[in-house]
């Protein structure tokens, strides 16, 4: 082997080494990127996706803000507040079928998702809803404000008596 051939072999070896080392580093880099992306997605997956939504206990103002016969729909809280004379009640607007928000009508409630119909008491008139709408406890705070507690489901027809 002459000197020129020896130099060409060295150059070819250097090129091979460079290519091999590039592929090696590229593979390590690609694996590191993949591991990083997988870790990121796992962390995103582990984070709870539950929306806290509206508070379960909240104030809705003084009784005198609700005229007798009024039906006030609170969309964010998913509740309808009804006042009959001196009585106030809170009825859930969450459909008992699959949880859509029902719309209040003159004769009760209608679910836009699958057509369930409830009467004014929240009882099912037409399915597929399996159960009546929930009624929530309504109380008075020491400052005289109405407070709805969505953690506390009461019997249908349970009203809070308020002063005229």
Question: What residue ranges bind ligand FES (CB under 6 A)?
Answer: 95, 97-98, 100, 111, 113-116, 128-129
Q: Are 139 and 128 in contact (CB under 8 A)?
A: no
The C-alpha atoms of residue 150 and residue 138 are separated, in whole angstroms, by: 9
Q: Closer to ligand FES at the Cβ: 29 or 115?
A: 115
Continuous segment of H or E residues that includes residue 23? helix 3-46
Residues ≥6 apart with Cβ < 8 Å to 152: 136, 137
Q: Closer to ligand FES at the Cβ: 54 or 113?
A: 113
> Rounded to the nearest whole angstrom, what is the least distance from the CB of residue 140 to ligand FES in the complex?
32
> Rounded to the nearest whole angstrom, what is the least distance from the CB of residue 98 to ligand FES in the complex?
4
Q: Closer to ligand FES at the Cβ: 92 or 116?
A: 116
> Rounded to the nearest whole angstrom, what is the least distance from the CB of residue 107 to ligand FES in the complex?
17
Q: Residue 40 corresponds to which tokens in the numbers above?
A: 């990121």
Q: Say what the alpha-carbon torsion angle 24, 29, 35, 40 is, to the nearest 10 degrees.
A: 180
Q: Closer to ligand FES at the Cβ: 54 or 100?
A: 100
Task: Please compute, for residue 93, the number of CA atoms within 13 A of its CA located in the half-sphere on the CB side.
Answer: 21
> Rounded to the nearest whole angstrom, what is the least distance from the CB of residue 113 to ligand FES in the complex?
4
């Amino acid at each position: 082997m002459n000197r020129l051939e020896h130099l060409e072999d060295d150059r070819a070896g250097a090129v091979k080494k460079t290519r091999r080392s590039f592929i090696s580093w590229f593979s390590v880099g690609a694996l590191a990127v993949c591991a990083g992306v997988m870790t990121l997605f796992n962390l995103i997956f582990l984070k709870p996706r539950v929306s806290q939504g509206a508070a379960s206990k909240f104030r809705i103002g003084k009784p005198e803000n609700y005229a007798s016969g009024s039906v006030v729909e609170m969309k964010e809280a998913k509740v309808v507040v009804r006042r009959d004379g001196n009585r106030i009640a809170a009825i859930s607007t969450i459909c008992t079928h699959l949880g859509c928000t029902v719309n209040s009508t003159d004769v009760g409630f209608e679910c836009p998702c699958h057509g369930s119909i409830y009467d004014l008491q929240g009882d099912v008139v037409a399915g597929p809803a399996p159960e009546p709408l929930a009624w929530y406890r309504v109380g008075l705070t020491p400052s005289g404000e109405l407070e709805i507690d969505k953690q506390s489901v009461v019997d249908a027809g349970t009203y809070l008596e308020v002063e005229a």
